[in-house]
Amino acid sequence: MGYLFKNGMVFADGGFVKADVLVEEGHVSLVDSVISDHGAQVVDILDKYVFPGFVDVHVHLREPGFSYKETIRSGTLAAARGGYTAVCPMPNLSPVPDCADNLNVQRDIIRRDAAVHVYPYGAITRGERGEELADMESMADYVVGFSDDGKGVQAPEMMRAAMERARKLGKMIAAHCEDESLLEKGWSVNQGAAERLGLIGNAPESEWRQVQRDIALTRETGCAYHVCHVSTKESVELIRRAKAEGVDVTCETAPHYLTLTDMDIVDDGRFRMNPPIRSKADRDALIASKLDRTVDMIATDHSPHSQKEKSGGLSGSLNGIVGLECAFPVLYTKLVLGGVIGLEKLIDLMSGAPCRRFGLPGGEICASGPADFAVFDLQREYTIDSGEFLSMGKSTPFEGWRVKGRCLMTVCNGRIVWQEV
């Protein structure tokens, strides 16, 4: 038996229409103004909004190897609660997915436990050590791309070799851009916050210098290249120029870089991530990039840690915050209700654009398309409370924020995988 979702405001063909959505056998059978029940279970969603499921191309699910931080089950349930129907986990795991056998450890858990679609990355180098290329050929059919996220590939000749191999395999290189030679030992925050809080700063140049290098390598190799978690105005300008030249480059940024500046940081582990939250000028450049499509999509970089690992303040905590369960309400409240971008644009940044770039199904609600969507109440106002999170990670800089836009239900593969009680 299928489902008939009645009376919703459905995102279709780039805009919203009041319509019913019939779901049968894992697909959308029909989207129309009035649909008879066809024997389906009727779900009345009067005046609620139906979005194509969000797609996050940058998350950390921590399993295998670090299941005390997060599991594939808990992470994908958190994704569903946030309106996501697909996530792409990074390979900093144990074992590192740098060959088919190691990747299969992760794939077996995904098949058993995932609540939403999971498309993993393979590592660029063995063990993410930057010394030898991973067995990319053996993984190519089963990964969304290759990344050493958490570490920048330091040697240009290694990155060039990886790009050449990825191009032959028809796969993306997704890079964490960080020149370690420009980092001071013990850094924890952007330079502006460092001066205010008496800590060691992270220079913006550590990011954009490697973006600059990799764009040049992309130009040489013809590889499809994606920059992870862009945070600086210089990176934005480099990517803008490269796109104008026709270089095959895209990039993502995260909700915290669009809504916070280093003046918002306090000495608490929930404000420590890599790259760090940067200056107002950087944030403004990222917001402006949405208007000219320089930054292509939004990803959360959901990075759960244990409470102990995040309890050491800015200098003594591990890098990483959680974001899957609060990304949309934060962005909707700050950017859409704040008059920065339209709702349709935000939906594309969180769904359509990642699907198009990474060749994933979804990103739209249409007849014969996958039944992957989320139902939101855009009038619902509430306070972000990490105690409600399904993720095992609770560390978020958005704790206590008043926001609008509550996910009521998420449908993946035609099944209701999460529903607010």
How many domains in the chain?
Answer: 2
Say if residue 134 is in the same domain as residue 12. no
User: Which residues are designated catalytic?
Assistant: 301
Residue at which a domain ends, from 358, 393, 410: 358
pLDDT exceeds cutoff 80 at 1: no
Q: How confident is the model at residue 417 (pLDDT cuts 50, 70, 90)?
A: very high
Residue at which a domain ends, from 358, 377, 411: 358
pLDDT in tens, 286-331: 999 988 999 999 999 999 999 999 999 999 999 999 999 999 999 9
How confident is the model over 226-234, as a mean pLDDT?
98
Burial category of 116 from C-beta neighbours within 10 Å (exposed 0-12, middle 13-18, buried 19 and up) = buried
Domain that holds residue 391: 3-49+369-419
Q: Identify the pLDDT of residue 200.
A: 84
Distance between CA atoms of residues 420 and 96, nearest Å: 35
Residue 240 lies in a domain: yes
CB 167 within 8 A of CB 221: yes
Distance between CA atoms of residues 77 and 324, nearest Å: 10
Residue with tokens 């993946």: 412
Q: Which residue, among 54, 88, 120, has the nearest Cα to 362 in the 3D structure? A: 54
For 198-256, the DSSP string reads: T--EE-THHHHHHHHHHHHHHHHH---EEE-S---HHHHHHHHHHHHHT--EEEEE-HH
Residue 363 lies in a domain: no
Residue 31 lies in a domain: yes
Q: Identify the pLDDT of residue 189.
A: 87
pTM for this predicted structure: 0.97
To the nearest 10°, report the CA torsion of 230, 233, 237, 240.
Answer: 40
Say if residue 277 is in the same domain as residue 334. yes
pLDDT exceeds cutoff 80 at 373: yes
Say if residue 156 is in the same domain as residue 201. yes
Residue at which a domain ends, from 358, 380, 407: 358
Say if residue 43 is in the same domain as residue 57. no
Say if residue 39 is in the same domain as residue 70. no
Residue 110 lies in a domain: yes
Structure-token pair, residue 261 = 């500046």
Q: Identify the pLDDT of residue 195.
A: 84
Say if residue 409 is in the same domain as residue 334. no
